[in-house]
Structure 1
Amino acid sequence: MSTIGQRIERLPFSRFHLVLLLIGGAGYTFDGLDSAIIAFVLPVLKTQWALSGARLGLVGSATYIGFFFGALGAGAVGDRFGRRGVMMGALAVFCVASGISALVSSYPAFLASRILAGLGTGAESAIVAPYLSEFVAARYRGAFVSALAAFFSCGFVAAAVIGWIVVPSGPAGWREAIGLTALPVLALLWWRRRLPESPRWLESIGRPDEAARVMSGIEAQIAARGTVLGPVSGLSEPAILPVPVLPYGGGLLSARHRRGLFVAWTVWLCLTASYYAVFTWMPSLLIARGMTMVHSFGFSILIYAAQLPGYLLASALIEVIGRRQTITSFLLGCVASGGAISIAGSDAGVIAAASALSACLSGAYGSLYAYTPELFPTHLRAIGCGSASAIGRLGAIVSPVLVAEAMPHIGVPGVFAAIAATLLLGGGVVLLFGPRTERLVLEAL
């Protein structure tokens, strides 16, 4: 194990880690808010701009088109130039583009600004989990990163509340709702300015002195609050050689990393396609069952709120039964609850089943966010996570359009049958091919 790895592994969970979790989590909150608010805007734009079919589905997919390129770019830049700069730049891009999308008055301009906003959220989402995972010890890393993903649910619930109250308030309600997603990000940018660069990344590229200074600052913060840190066992100066600069994915596609890459890409694609097929269209699906727009938005708050217990349960289970088993268990729960939606005969039954589906999808996502950074070494971690997130967003791009086109022909039961098959494929891959990573230090993976 490297010197920096040894120093990190002896750290207890501290106020430093809690602040790091809140700062990273706040970014995920705004990512979730931005992604979810479109679901509440779609029914309004359908009427105001006379959109239908594929054009309406493309609005739902626009954010994820940008997300795809943002996640890919974040991985390349994050491994080459550092994690911190990507996190700051991504937030700035999102803030500006989201604000523009609230002001434009034409379909093409709205589509373009949503794609640009997605570029920022894609880079943000792809870089935060690998960045935070590099600051924590193996014994609580899974629970820590899984808890980070729980902040997405805060954004979804906030979007549902805004959609319920603000969107129906008048013809410009949808503009005000989108504008509300952008303004608080300015405060988060200011808060993040003091974040340190990842010491593990600094060490991996041959900058051990800078890595040591970052670690000394972290240790000083922890010691200042009365914690006595034990000695670093077997302390020795590692032979650190700079990682060669390769074309994007050059090292990632080597034989050594193909198994992890196959697992990450497949599960991200299956889960993300299913997740956004459900949540992009949830308010519209409820309206299609005869609910009014206001009622469907109100029930969506309950459905989105069910995400939080799903994330928290994943955080509790992931260190107990393991990453692969936790992911697979939640995916099976998704299949069961999706089937319950298809056969539910009452609004109450639909809401209960949809809430269970929401919890299970979120639990699977929380587990996957913790698992993915562990599939790649430090010098490829951002590229690996970014590529997996980008591949997943291909599903998010396609699935809203497919649902829009398929719904008139196969109905709700057919849609959920297709989602169930997709989730079973992802669960089978992670269970059969996913490597075991729990309790292993990052340097050993």
Structure 2
Amino acid sequence: MSVTTGEVPPGEVSTLAFKKRFMKRLIVVLIGGMLLDGYILGIVGPVNETMTADLAITPAVEGLIAAAALIGIGVGSPIGGWAGDKWGRKPLFMVDIALFSVASAMQFFVHSAALLLVVRLLMGIAIGMEYSVGWPMLAEFAPVRIRGALLAATNIAWYGGFLLAYILGTIWITQTHLSWKFILGTSTFLAVALLLGRLGMPESPRWLWNQGRKDEAIAIVNKYMDPPEFSDMEHSEVRKGTFSQLFATKQARRATVFVSGFWFCVVAPYFAIATFAVTVLKQYGMDGPAGSIGLSALALAGVITCAYLVDKVGRRTLAVPSSWLAFIMLALIGFWTGAPAMIVLVLFFGYSFVNGVGGTLTGIFPGEMFPTEIRGVGTGFAAAISRVGAAAGTFLLPIAMVSLGASVSMLIAAGVALVGALLAQFLAPETKGLSLAEAAKNFSH
């Protein structure tokens, strides 16, 4: 007669440990792509003045170079989303980081504004592909109970990468003799490390299942994941995805408009303000890098807060108030032209914090609201729309600050934030605690 001790058999312990190690590795190599995105955008600010003087570029070209990566994301994300839905998450997962590594390394050798523009555009295309494959892949592997937190972790990495780049870039450009080319090119070291870390990663089982490759999907679930978490997958139909599905029904249109529009309105003002924070804050009597670093730090705090709360209180509960607060704070900055510098700084910091909350949700809604067959193309489309806004804001802000003034520029930003608040108020769904199949039901019904 055997006695049950309650202990897990050694073989099962080993399997559980393997699965935990895999999940940690998956998270690291996926959020690493978002860290790179934040890094390449944050590193421009500290070197901007030196780069501009060295290349003798105009404000318009300056804004275009700053926006180039964002334009590239707008190009790469729909292409990557379509390719990821057609050929799988895994191939694109490797192609995008390889392209990024090569393009990033080219920054060491740029000698003209035109070449720098092309290089930053290529890097943006690679990041855009990462958006449309990284978030879907993480959503498709993540356990329901912590899916929101894991998707939010990608935004912690983004804001963390932006802040890290800004701090390091400021130190390097002011305290060392490193060239601005080398400082921009430091993203190459992170990219190569990620490329090596992604070797040997499996394909998404949900994508395989939707392709009719059910045995392969089940084998991956059994080897790497907790099978009960994928019980909804076994009841899913095999469907061929097309771009037209994004607008095929009333609910599909609502979901597509919300995801892409909300994302646009959250990032457009923030990217512009954060990229040119030194210039913006100087208009309000605040000189030096401390305010700029503070903006990024408060945004990161907002992301961490959202990551902690999103699986506890829900997505919509965070989206609506954070959007309205972002609008109110930008509007106050714009209307209160004679406000003391400290009040303006507090309002900017407050905006950065609540926008960090909203920015985190833009990485969660697409993976949950789009069904598997178009999760890539839907995320890619929404990312492209958002980056049109981010690129436009980044390109136009330096021009608007000169021609219209700081007050009017902030009121325009507030107007964009208002649209985002209205979209959240009337269209934001609640997907907390739902399986991916349940969350996506609203898309087609």
TM-score (norm 2): 0.87
Cα drift, residue 418 of structure 1: 1.2
Tell me what 1:77 maps to: 83
Counterpart selection for 2:156 from 150, 159, 163: 150
Q: Secondary structure at the match of 2:82?
A: helix
Counterpart selection for 1:333 from 278, 301, 325: 325
Opposite residue 412 of structure 1, the aligned amino acid is: A
Q: Secondary structure at the match of 2:246?
A: coil
Cα drift, residue 141 of structure 1: 1.6
**Cα–Cα, structure 1 residues 106 and 239, in superposed 2: closer, same or farther, change >3 Å?**
closer
Tell me what 1:68 maps to: 74
Counterpart selection for 1:272 from 264, 267, 270: 267
Opposite residue 189 of structure 2, the aligned amino acid is: L
Native 8 Å contact 1:267 1:430 kept in 2: yes
Native 8 Å contact 2:205 2:220 kept in 1: yes
Opposite residue 128 of structure 2, the aligned amino acid is: G
Cα drift, residue 151 of structure 1: 0.9
Counterpart selection for 1:127 from 128, 133, 143: 133
Tell me what 1:7 maps to: none
Counterpart selection for 2:407 from 410, 413, 419: 413
Q: Secondary structure at the match of 1:214?
A: helix
Native 8 Å contact 1:149 1:366 kept in 2: yes
Structure 2: unaligned runs, 5 residues or longer: 1-15, 441-445
2:179 is aligned with 1:187: no
Native 8 Å contact 1:206 1:240 kept in 2: no
Q: How does 1:223-262 map to 2 (within 5 A)?
A: 238=235, 240-241=237-238, 243-244=239-240, 246=242, 249-255=243-249, 257-262=252-257
**Cα–Cα, structure 1 residues 354 and 237, in superposed 2: closer, same or farther, change >3 Å?**
closer
Tell me what 2:28 maps to: 22
Tell me what 2:420 maps to: 426
Cα drift, residue 433 of structure 1: 2.0
Cα drift, residue 206 of structure 1: 0.6
Q: Percent identity?
A: 28
Cα drift, residue 304 of structure 1: 1.2
2:55 is aligned with 1:49: yes
Tell me what 1:312 maps to: 304
Deviations 1:147-201 (A, max 9, x none): 2321112101111112211123577531121111112211111111132211111
Native 8 Å contact 2:240 2:373 kept in 1: no
Opposite residue 282 of structure 1, the aligned amino acid is: A
Tell me what 2:212 maps to: 206
Q: Secondary structure at the match of 1:369?
A: coil
* Alignment RMSD (CA, Å): 2.6
Count of residues paired in the alignment: 420
Q: How does 1:278-317 map to 2 (within 5 A)?
A: 278-289=273-284, 295-296=288-289, 298-317=290-309
Counterpart selection for 1:376 from 367, 370, 373: 370
Could you tell me how far apart the structure 1 residues matched to 2:241 and 2:378 are?
15
Counterpart selection for 1:197 from 196, 203, 209: 203
Deviations 1:239-264 (A, max 9, x none): 854x3364xx1332311521111111
Q: Secondary structure at the match of 1:318?
A: helix
Q: Secondary structure at the match of 2:109?
A: coil
Cα drift, residue 236 of structure 1: 10
Native 8 Å contact 2:84 2:132 kept in 1: no
Native 8 Å contact 1:66 1:115 kept in 2: yes
Could you tell me how far apart the structure 1 residues matched to 2:186 and 2:220 are?
35
**Cα–Cα, structure 1 residues 57 and 239, in superposed 2: closer, same or farther, change >3 Å?**
closer
Cα drift, residue 360 of structure 1: 1.6
Could you tell me how far apart the structure 1 residues matched to 2:177 and 2:203 are?
45
Tell me what 1:324 maps to: 316
Native 8 Å contact 1:31 1:125 kept in 2: no
Opposite residue 425 of structure 1, the aligned amino acid is: V
Could you tell me how far apart the structure 2 residues matched to 1:135 and 1:172 are?
41
Deviations 1:107-152 (A, max 9, x none): 1111111111111111112321111011123332222211232111
Cα drift, residue 266 of structure 1: 1.0
**Cα–Cα, structure 1 residues 239 and 310, in superposed 2: closer, same or farther, change >3 Å?**
closer
Q: Secondary structure at the match of 1:196?
A: coil
Opposite residue 109 of structure 1, the aligned amino acid is: L
